[in-house]
Chain A
Amino acid sequence: MVRFILSKFLFMLLSLFLLITATFVLMNAVPGSPLQSEKATSEQVQKNLEAYYGLDKPLIVQYGTYLKNLVKGDLGISMKKKFQSVDKMIAQSFGYSLKLGISAIITSVVVGSILGILAAMHHRKFLDNLAMILAVIGLAIPSLVLAPLLQYLFAVKIRIFEVAGLNGPMDYVLPTIALASGPIAFIARLLRSTMIEVLNSDFIKTAKSKGLSGYVIVMRHALRNSMLPVVTYLGYLTAGIITGSVVIEEIFGIPGIGKYFVQSVTDRDYPLIMGITIFYAIILMATRFLADIAYVFVDPRMRASGGKVGK
């Protein structure tokens, strides 16, 4: 197991290195620079600026310096937001995205599971269709439309919630719904199909023949065995959600990392682009890694065999 983790870790480092290189090259290939402005500056001022941020040096030297600093744990300072350190910017904005993300993940798992279970237990009946139609409608409305619609209906027309900001617990409701509507549908459909499969399997039939009630069967036996694909999906979902949704952050005025990222690219804020990319990659790799481990725990078959047997 230690060897497994170690080799995974080494691979992660290698990927990270390749990713850093690729991003660095791509970023510098894009026209525009963090130091350009609409009003013409004199050539000398431009040179002063470039010298200040080390952009006057050859790319390969800049790359070397960046790596050296990175190893020391220094992500540098933003070139646009003067003298703010990139690590602090990431930490601050990620805080917001993480809070909202956790709220959205919990909501999607809970609501998605309810819909999925209901649908599975009433397979091919009215409730099944209703739950699935509900789920798919949630999926079919883009957050681009859903978020302003929710904002208008529940913060402007009926003033239950705030238009923007994340100041109190209530402020989480609207962005959470907007963020979770897609994942809810995904989980509901995923759970439904695996659950139908599980409910038809022999061990459930045995349980039923023992006279256990439907509720107990679902909660104690079927659900656990149906959660497997959901767990895998959660790995991807977590990475996707906690790295921030630009649309929702823009509309609900949340200073999250998704907004920062888009801005860093439009600003060509090189250190910030690099910092967030690396951060995203680490999150992505870490969640995938955790999902792998969680998989082992959720699946009793995997646990028994030490994670070696496939499906």
Chain B
Amino acid sequence: MKGSFKRPAQVMLVLVIALSMLLTACAGNNNKPSENNGGAATNGGETTTPQEFRFTLASEPPSLDPALMTDAQSSIVAAGLYEGLTRLNANGEPENAIAEEITASEDGKTYTIKLRDDVKWSNGESVTAHDFEYAWKRALNPETASEYAYMLYYIENAEKYNTGGGTVDEVGVKATNDYTLEVKLYTPAPYFPSLISHYTYLPVNKGAVDGKPEWASEKETIVSNGPFLLKEWAHEDKLVLEKNPDYYNASAVKFDKVTISLINDTNTVYNLYDTDKIDWIGAQAGSVPTDRTPQLVEEGKATITSVASVYYYLFNNNKAPFNNAKIRKAFAMSVDRQSLIDNVAKANQQPAFGLVPPSIAGAGGKNFRELYPDTDYFKEDVEEAKKLLAEGLAESNLTALPEITLLYNTDDGHKAIAEAIVDMWRKNLGVEVKLANQEWGTFLESRKAGQFDIARSGWGADINHPINFTYDLIHSKSGNNDGKYSNPKVDELLNNSLVAASPEESIKMMAEAEKIAFAEDMGALPLYYYTTVTMLKDGFKNVGSDYAGHIDWVFGSKE
């Protein structure tokens, strides 16, 4: 053996060359000559900036069919693809889009909407009032199985039809001519113009949709009417949108091309931004890694915007020990929210003592929180908390707390917050709380079934109105009240708020209900109002986070 092999270096060389050849051959073979991304920027010597915008989404839109959309991803893409009756502006206020004029009747229950006559579908047909009537009735049709059909329940007989009790003709929406839509509501809804900006209210093209449930899952079959057209949809990889030259307000649309890559890993998204492959992170379109946030904000590279969502913990109001208000209060009062925000959540969130986020509109041009601040609902006070805990235990005839578990869905961020809070309870109340995390599907099931002591929860807005955070969360009949908080006084106030004479009156009742739910009952444990950390490359304008914390990119531009 010895000395028989004199040229290992040569062998190695040959093999290395073979390897590199194989590698290139293999990779080259299998690769379609796809357009290279960002190539436009280097092409030609033109002086105008290429109007391209690139961002990421964590997963692809499960559907681009307005009736079936339920999530942020879909709504971000849909904002570019479709045009509805109204759009929300940067402040979350509705502005007319296809609607030219919206008139409410005296009793506030009937709306007559005049439509523009110059809006076209991507197949060339005109967008008419019939398309809206068709789309809304389609979403309400039980056979469509739309999860968000309840967004349309404000319309007369909509719920009845959707739940199988009524006929389609009874539904209170009718195109009286090609460009007039008449909508009858159950109760007056002063926020109707805002409501119809929601994606469930988008129109669809009957010819493209009828009998073709799969119409919105490929770019070949989708028919849209918005500022952008879907040019490419490589599933789980990317979506490419291009400016729609036939859009009625085409001059307002500046981007020629928008590339949306589907990437989940936060660090990868950050690295893409760092290497100039994307122009934006944040507001549901990627997220800035928590550990980096403070530094990036300090350097002015990242911006923090508050969004209409609240992070809170549910108490299981039906089960000892949290069936006692004093014990609930003790737990809520012994959390140092500011410290949690500064050291763990790290995005300058605002401490929450109620549920309605600061960016939600109130009445008379003022936000809800400006009119009804939550800071006096309760105070963080460790001594008081200890006292309340002792009293609460006595009231419940307990000598000590039973084993308590804090349930959260698997996620690094939720984990850090849960660990920090459990530690605060340990130090402040001398209470040992166990942690349990469950993967999302299981978590939802446990939470809905009330199989928890304390459970994480987060709630965002569908429409810019406090009803989202009051009626939906603290009414005993609400399907989203998973902690089963119940107080007849609160229910009564919330019921009355729906039929109140004026928006001011209605908002006031909601605020009263919220105050009772926290100042008196502590039905849940509010932690903070979300913010979103966003990063945008230099030169872009009019791209930002909307009131709900979704990226608003449609009318952006690059200089």
Contacts and interface: CB of A to CB of B under 8 A. Distances in A.
- Pairing of A with B: yes
B261 A165 contact: yes
B30 A102 contact: yes
Contacts of B15: 110, 113-114
A165 B268 CA distance: 10
B145 A52 contact: yes
Interface in B263-297: 263-265, 267-268, 271-272, 274-275, 277
B8 A48 contact: no
B72 to A, nearest CB: 12
A214 B268 contact: no
Interface string A245-273: 00000111101000110010011100000
A60 B16 CA distance: 56
Contacts of A51: 145
Contacts of A48: 142-145, 162
A106 B22 contact: yes
A206 interface: no
B444 A163 contact: no
B7 A32 contact: no
A167 B159 CA distance: 48
Interface residues of A, number: 79
Nearest to B146: A45
Interface in B48-91: 59-60, 62-63, 65, 68, 70
A260 B236 contact: yes
Interface string B215-256: 011000000000000000011110000000000000000000
Nearest to B440: A266
Contacts of B272: 163-164, 253
Contacts of B413: none
Contacts of A113: 15
A65 B142 CA distance: 23
Contacts of B36: 167-168
A103 B217 contact: no
B445 A163 contact: no
A38 B72 CA distance: 13
B265 A199 contact: no
Interface string A204-223: 00001000011101100000
Given A82-B216, A165-B261, A167-B36, A36 B4 contact: no
A127 interface: yes
A164 to B, nearest CB: 5
B342 interface: no
Interface stretch (A1-9, A151-159, A303-311): A151-159
Contacts of A181: none
Contacts of B6: 213-214
B400 interface: no
Contact of A38 (B23, B59, B264, B444): B444
A168 B27 CA distance: 8
B163 interface: yes
Contacts, number: 213
Given A37-B147, A99-B27, A111-B19, A217 B4 contact: yes
Contacts of A168: 27, 31, 36
Contact of B147 (A45, A114, A267): A45
A73 B70 CA distance: 31
Interface residues of B, number: 74
Given A163-B277, A164-B263, A83 B163 contact: no
A118 B235 contact: no
Contact of B264 (A39, A45, A215, A250): A250
Nearest to A44: B163
Given A103-B23, A163-B268, A267-B441, A169 B31 contact: yes
A89 B62 CA distance: 13
Nearest to B56: A253
A91 B439 CA distance: 27
A169 B271 contact: no
A251 B268 contact: yes
B480 interface: yes
Interface string B462-493: 00000000000000001110000000000000
A84 interface: yes
Query: Max chain A CB contacts within 10 Å: which of B30, B262, B267, B277?
Result: B30
A31 B446 contact: yes
A52 B143 contact: yes
A31 B22 contact: no
B237 A255 contact: yes
B24 interface: yes
Contacts of A42: 150, 159, 162-163, 479
Contacts of B263: 164, 253
B442 A30 contact: yes
A213 B144 CA distance: 76
A39 B480 contact: yes
A298 interface: no
A194 interface: no
B22 A45 contact: no
B522 to A, nearest CB: 22
Interface string A93-108: 1000001001100110
Closest 10 CB pairs of A and B: A40-B479, A32-B441, A214-B5, A255-B236, A83-B214, A169-B27, A82-B63, A44-B163, A214-B4, A52-B145
13 contacts: A36-B441, A41-B150, A45-B150, A99-B26, A103-B26, A167-B31, A169-B23, A169-B24, A169-B27, A172-B27, A214-B7, A253-B262, A259-B236
Interface of A: 30-33, 36-42, 44-45, 48-49, 51-53, 77, 80-84, 89, 92-93, 99, 102-103, 106-107, 110-111, 113-114, 117-118, 121-123, 127, 148, 151-152, 155-156, 159, 162-173, 176, 199, 208, 213-215, 217-218, 250-253, 255, 259-260, 263, 266-268
Given A53-B145, A170-B27, A172-B26, 9 more contacts: A42-B479, A45-B146, A49-B147, A52-B143, A92-B235, A106-B19, A110-B19, A213-B5, A251-B268
Interface of B: 1, 4-8, 10-12, 15-16, 18-19, 22-24, 26-28, 30-31, 34, 36-37, 59-60, 62-63, 65, 68, 70, 142-147, 149-150, 159, 162-164, 213-214, 216-217, 234-237, 261-265, 267-268, 271-272, 274-275, 277, 439-442, 444-446, 448, 478-480
